[in-house]
Each structure stands twice: as C-alpha cells, then as structure tokens.
Amino acid sequence: GDSVTQTEGPVTVSESESLIINCTYSATSIAYPNLFWYVRYPGEGLQLLLKVITAGQKGSSRGFEATYNKETTSFHLQKASVQESDSAVYYCALGPDSNNRIFFGDGTQLVVKP
C-alpha cells in the first residue's frame, strides 16, 4: 500500500547542530506522488513546511531542505544548523491518491536544546 516511515522521535539536538530526519515512502497506487514535510509548532496548527512534486528536485524552506529521491524512495529532511525555535513535530507525507488522500508518517518530535 501507500505509506510513509520516518525517524521515530523524540530527536534531541543542541542549537547550531545539524539535523536529519529520515523519511522513506512506498507509493504503490500513486504513479507520481507529491512529497511533503508538514510541521506543527507548539500551540499551533499543522502547516506545510515544504513540498516537492518532481523526482530529483529539492525543496527548501526556513533553512530546511529535502530532496525527492525516487531510486531510494526517500525524502529526508535536513538542516545545517538548528535553532531552538525549530522545536516542533515534523510529519513526512505523500499523495494524493485517487481519493485525494494524503498519507502521513507518524511524526517526529524535534527538541532543540539551547
């Protein structure tokens, strides 16, 4: 089926350290899936961080980057230097299928220590 697997949290890093949150996907019913990273900051709603709709392309936002790798079916989220304000829950997602469904990973809580 269609699914997403991502790094299990919580992930704890110190401010200014680099970060990678792994995401791999399986898209059996979607020929050309879009890939997304969503983020939920404490006390706020779920919001789109970045998306990539074409394999081989990279998306970036707020210092975060993710590359759509069709060969390894991966969409890892990276940041060179995290800040305390990056503390949040990050969700990798793919879709939509023929039912307009987006498939989410379980989310990865990121804790950035000052």
Partner 1 sequence: AQTIHQWPVAEIKAVGSPLSLGCTIKGKSSPNLYWYWQATGGTLQQLFYSITVGQVESVVQLNLSASRPKDDQFILSTEKLLLSHSGFYLCAWSSGGINAEQFFGPGTRLTVL
Q: Which residues bind partner 1 (CB under 8 A)?
A: 34, 36, 38, 44-48, 51, 53, 91, 96, 99-102, 104-107
- In the complex, the smallest distance separating the C-beta of residue 81 from partner 1, rounded to whole angstroms, is 27
The CA angle 108-4-79, to the nearest 5 degrees, is: 45
- In the complex, the smallest distance separating the C-beta of residue 94 from partner 1, rounded to whole angstroms, is 12
Nearest to 79 by CA among 39, 42, 46: 39
The CA distance from 40 to 55, in Å, is 25
Pick 105 or 112: Cβ nearer partner 1: 105
Using alpha carbons, list the distances in angstroms from residue 4 to 13, 33, 110, 114: 23, 12, 18, 31
Pick 86 or 105: Cβ nearer partner 1: 105
- In the complex, the smallest distance separating the C-beta of residue 103 from partner 1, rounded to whole angstroms, is 8
